[in-house]
Structure 1
Amino acid sequence: MTPKTFASTGDLGEKTITFAELGRGAYAFTAEGDPNTGVIVGDTGVMVIDTQATPLMAQKVIAEIRKVTDKPITHILMTHYHAVRVLGAAAYEAHTVIASKRTHEMIVERGQQDWESEFGRFPRLFQGHETIKSLTWPTVVFDGKITVDLGNQRVEIWNPGRGHTQGDTIAWLPDQKILYAGDLVEYGATPYTGDAHLRDWPHTLQALRDLKPAKLVPGRGDALHSPEQCDEAMAGTQAFLTDLFETAQQGVKEGKDLQQIYRMAREKMDPKYGHWVIYDHCMPFDVARAVDEAQGLDRPNIWTAERDKEIWAMAEA
């Protein structure tokens, strides 16, 4: 059921990059289901939303930015803390790196372990890993909501609630109703829930649906250019999370062990979601977290390279 190749170590194919324009000064860097990067251009500077995994890989984003503007890159926003999203930050030389207070807590608590875990799972996404000199630390830490003025471009930044992690942060362009959702929303790609809060996540998504975005950049998948597509992506993410957590709750109630619940989840979810990007990669880790939360563990266990292998072995057995 789960491929013998660990996680995504066998995924070596290059992806086609798209740099899509969503509106005035609003862009999305996407690559066929690989992690997305958002770009917002104002009169005085540029904000980059999630930086790619390494300074070397960030150069691909910078090359696309330079095709549309020569303004300085002044701000970086971390939508959350996962190494694949943030360790390329040094390449941009931005003076302002923004993260929520809860994201900062995660860096302190598990930043190094997360880097080692993710590198082991998906080495292709860490091309030029030797260019990573340190963890990425924010220079601005906020709680709740802040607004950044990029010059004729107002960006609202807020932590709408726990979901993909405890610190998920979105960027919202109210004048154009464009939403940069990070990994709170996926489109045609499997939500990773290893650090998630599964009871909260669907409610957090509802807060985003209430914004009624006209366009949306998900964490993975194509940029979305209509209200209907935006709502489809948010509803689809909600449905996946609901199926996952309800299965875990049922299995725990019935006294089943992790492997049995994993089989239950695959049987129920494969027909609906098995074609989504990184589905086989995510499911062992997703189910492990869902079972932990169903058993009452509110704060996710820290993922280490060793724990990754243990969970993968469970899924293969």
Structure 2
Amino acid sequence: MTVKAFASQADLEEKKVSFVRLSANAYAYTAEGDPNTGVIVGDNAVMVIDTQATPVMAQDVIRRIREVTDKPIRYVVLSHYHAVRVLGAAGYEPQHVIASRDTYDLIVERGEQDKASEIGRFPRLFRAVESVPPGLTWPTITFEGRMSIWLGQLEVQLIQLGRGHTKGDTVAWLPQQRILFSGDLVEFDATPYAGDAYFTDWPQTLDNIAALQPLALVPGRGAALTTPEQVRQGLAGTRQFLVDVRECVQAGVRAGRNLNAIYKEACAALKPKYAHWVIFDHCMPFDVTRCYDEMTGHADPRIWTAERDVEMWKTLEG
């Protein structure tokens, strides 16, 4: 049997980086649909939200930060546990790495498997992977629900608004400026990866983000959303994709079809609407598989291993 390579393994084109100023304190490091990094410059220190995938890749973020401030980078915030978001942390030499307790627990439970799985799936996003220190990226501070970090007079609220992309998702919120860093809870013109998601909960979590009424939002992937209308578009697009996947999968499960048939039907139904979003072909097998699991009794996501990735890919694309 011939099996196509992972869609992501053919994605080798380098992306153009933008470093967008959202306020006197907030910046968005974006790269045409590759994982974003948020930067908050306070009175006495800098906070980075999501690190890039390797310490070498983090150096470009640091270079941009140094163009606007010489204040020390004291805090790294992990919006969730995925390797592509956390393995660059050592490059910043922060005093503290902060994550939700749920994210910490996920690192304990599945961090090693996730690291091997992600690096195997998407090699371009782990440039200079040899620069990642041995072991995993461990938080030095954890919280449950909500905490505030004060960068001088500037308050940064770290909040769990509900399960979605993972069970540990954390947003960073500047209440004085109403700017939000969402991690992968929100994407813009980029396909949500939902392999470790909670499809039933995620729309409500997006409603909880909307209730904050952000004036600007840095999504996990895609361009920074710099107006309330763009924020609404980002939230609505993410929500509609999740609803569309769930409706396709639910219909297939009710009809008694197997995963392979449901996957093919979902791709056919969603391609006309979403195929132009980056990483669509990469995400769909993982998204449909997780949604199928959730609809058939796996309340919590099963651990992705490099071996399970290959097995899934053969099942759906063989």
Indicate the TM-score class for this superposition, using the shorter chain for normalisation.
over 0.9
Structure 1: 5+ residue stretches without partners? none
Q: Deviations over 1:35-86 (max 9, x none)?
A: 0000000011000000000001000100000000000000010000100000
Structure 1 CA distance for aligned equivalents of residues 271 and 127 of structure 2 = 31
* Aligned position for 2:87: 87
Cα distance in 2 between the residues matched to 1:47 and 1:41: 7
Shift of 1:311: 1.4
Q: 1:29 matched to which residue of 2?
A: 29
Report the Cα distance in structure 2 between the residues aligned to 1:167 and 1:316, rounded to whole angstroms.
30
1:299 is matched with 300
In the TM superposition, what whole-angstrom CA distance separates every residue of 1:132-161 from its partner, at most 9, and x where no partner exists?
112110011100100110112110111111
What displacement does 1:222 show? Answer: 0.2
Correspondence for 2:96: 96
Partner residue in 2 for 1:14: 14
Pairing 1:99-114 to 2, within 5 Å after superposition: 99-114=99-114
**Residue 308 of structure 1 pairs with residue 309 of structure 2:** yes
- Determine the C-alpha separation between the residues in 1 that align with 2:159 and 2:284: 29
**How far 1:315 sits from its partner (Å)?**
2.3
Q: Which amino acid aligns with 1:95?
A: Q
Alpha-carbon distance, 1:10 to partner:
1.1
Q: In the alignment, does 2:124 pair up with 1:124? A: yes
Aligned to 2:39: 39
SS in 1 for 2:106: helix
Secondary structure at the counterpart of residue 79 of structure 1: coil
- What is the aligned partner in structure 2 of residue 65 from structure 1? 65
Answer whether contact 1:7 1:312 (CA < 8 A) is retained.
no
CA distance in 2, matches of 1:241, 1:105: 25
How far is 1:26 from its partner? Answer: 0.3
2:286 paired residue number: 285
Residues 268-303 of structure 1: per-residue CA shift (max 9 Å, x gap): 111111110000000001100000000021110100
**Does the CA-based 8 Å contact 1:46-1:74 persist in structure 2?**
yes
**Aligned equivalents of 1:241, 1:247: Cα separation in 2:** 10
Distance 2:312 2:145 in 1: 35
Which secondary structure does the structure 1 equivalent of 2:185 belong to? coil
Asked whether the equivalents of residues 100 and 169 of structure 1 are also in contact (C-alpha less than 8 Å), the reply is: yes
Unpaired runs of 5+ in structure 2?
none
TM-score, length-scaled by structure 2: 0.98
Paired residue for 1:186? Answer: 187
Cα distance in 2 between the residues matched to 1:312 and 1:118:
14
1:158 aligns with 2:141: no
Which residue of structure 2 lines up, in the alignment, with residue 248 of structure 1?
249
Equivalent position of 1:148 in the other structure? 149
Instruction: Tell me, yes or no, if structure 1 residue 225 matches structure 2 residue 226.
Output: yes
- Structure 1 SS opposite 2:10: coil
Runs of 4+ residues deviating >4 angstroms: none
Rounded Cα–Cα distance in structure 2 between residues aligned with 1:83 and 1:7: 18
Structure-2 separation of matches of 1:299 and 1:119: 23
Is structure 2 residue 217 aligned with structure 1 residue 200?
A: no
Task: Report the CA distance between 1:249 and its aligned residue.
Answer: 1.3
* Alignment partner of 1:56 is 2:74: no
2:103 maps to amino acid: T
Letter of the structure 1 residue corresponding to residue 32 of structure 2: E
Q: Deviations over 1:210-235 (max 9, x none)?
A: 11111000000000110000011001
CA displacement at 1:14 relative to structure 2: 1.0
Q: Secondary structure at the match of 2:136?
A: coil
Q: How many residues align?
A: 315
Distance 2:105 2:248 in 1: 30
Distance 1:153 1:296 in 2: 44
Give the root-mean-square deviation of aligned CA atoms. 0.9
Matches of 2:280 and 2:6, distance apart in 1: 13
Provide the TM-score with structure 1 as the length reference.
Answer: 0.98
Q: Which amino acid aligns with 2:34?
A: D
**Secondary structure in structure 1 of the residue aligned to 2:70:** coil
The residue aligned with 2:4 is 4
Question: Match for 1:98: what amino acid?
Answer: I
